[in-house]
Amino acid sequence: MSERQVHHAEGPEWGTFALILVCHALWLAALFVLPGIGLIWACVGLAIAVILQSSLTHEALHGHPFRWQPLNEALMFLPLGLLIPYGRFRDTHLAHHDDERLTDPYDDPESNFQDPVVWAAMPRWQQRVMRINNTLAGRMLLGPLIGQICFMKDDWSAIRQGDRAILRDWLLHIAGLVPVLWCASIAPLPLWAYLAAAYVGMAVLKIRTFLEHRAHEDMHARTVIVEDKGPLAFLFLFNNLHVVHHLHPGVAWYRLPGLYRSYRASFQAENHSYVYRSYGEVFRHYFLRAKDPVPHPLWQQGK
């Protein structure tokens, strides 16, 4: 790996903290103010809040904006997106950062590949659904539902086998849901609109994760760069420069673009030019076409 001058923040990151406050203020506005302007505006505002909080939660689990991790986790206590417990997101995502295991169907919790043996045993209807889910349109439409079902199924199995850490994370999640759903219940925004907006927010997040990683023998070549500078890049807190984040996970979101600009050729060499110019390019290529097969292409039957 090329040597780079990487500067980590030594004190509080007040810009990130301010963005956390803005995110929650937008959530409250979407619940209590924007419905008076129009239901669509309220739903858009709520979806943006859900996307932004997910991105900020990713920052928190990597040690931002403060050096005291319990404070970072407390700031993310309210599950605005309703679905994923913070503790489960933290633990599965940090496990995902074992780059040597990226895309492994068993050892990478965020992999979308299947063991070829498991794939061959699936009924045809399930294979068809999984193939649709491997297009960008399918990932946005079905991905949040499929991901949530599989995630909860695995967690429920672990809880039944006595995993108290996972049970604790779900109980904390339920505790956080109480004030969120109470606010939703007294807001002029209909509950169905909240649920729809949360789903839309999760669907937009699937744009980022759709092709973040590919199957490749070189572990650094598995991680993408999307050189987007538009609204999606900001909502994703520049995690579209994903190989930069994987190589330097302690770097705050607002430093990623500068770090990439300074060492652009080096990063592209390390990930073997796994690069897209924008999310527009991703949509053009893969909206209705699968980028990857569902069974892991580097695995052999019976591995």
Q: Which residue has the higher pLDDT, 6 or 67?
A: 67
Number of domains in the chain: 1
**Hey, what amino acid is at 1?**
M
Domain span at residue 121 reads 14-212
Please list, in sequence order, all residues whose beta carbon lies within 8 angstroms of the beta carbon of residue 98, skipping any fewer than 6 positions away. 107, 108
- Residue 7: pLDDT band (50, 70, 90) is low
Task: Provide, rounded to the nearest whole percent, the portion of the chain with pLDDT above 90.
Answer: 86
- Residue 149: pLDDT band (50, 70, 90) is very high
7 domain residue, yes or no: no
281 domain residue, yes or no: no
Strand pairing report for 225-226 and 275-276: parallel
User: Is 80 exceeded by the pLDDT of residue 1?
Assistant: no
- Residue 303: pLDDT band (50, 70, 90) is very low
User: Is 80 exceeded by the pLDDT of residue 13?
Assistant: yes
Going 192 to 197 to 198 to 203, the CA torsion angle's sign is positive
280 domain residue, yes or no: no
178 domain residue, yes or no: yes
158 domain residue, yes or no: yes
Please list, in sequence order, all residues whose beta carbon lies within 8 angstroms of the beta carbon of residue 120, skipping any fewer than 6 positions away. 295, 301
pLDDT digits (tens, 9 = 90+) for 61-112: 999 999 999 999 999 999 999 999 999 999 999 888 888 888 988 888 889 9
Going 181 to 163 to 113 to 220, the CA torsion angle's sign is positive
Yes or no: say if 146 and 133 are a contact pair by the CB < 8 Å rule. Answer: yes
110 domain residue, yes or no: yes
pLDDT digits (tens, 9 = 90+) for 161-183: 999 999 999 999 999 999 999 99
Instruction: Extract the tokens encoding 58.
Output: 């990713």
Terminal C-alpha separation, the chain: 30
Yes or no: say if 13 and 252 are a contact pair by the CB < 8 Å rule. Answer: yes
136 domain residue, yes or no: yes
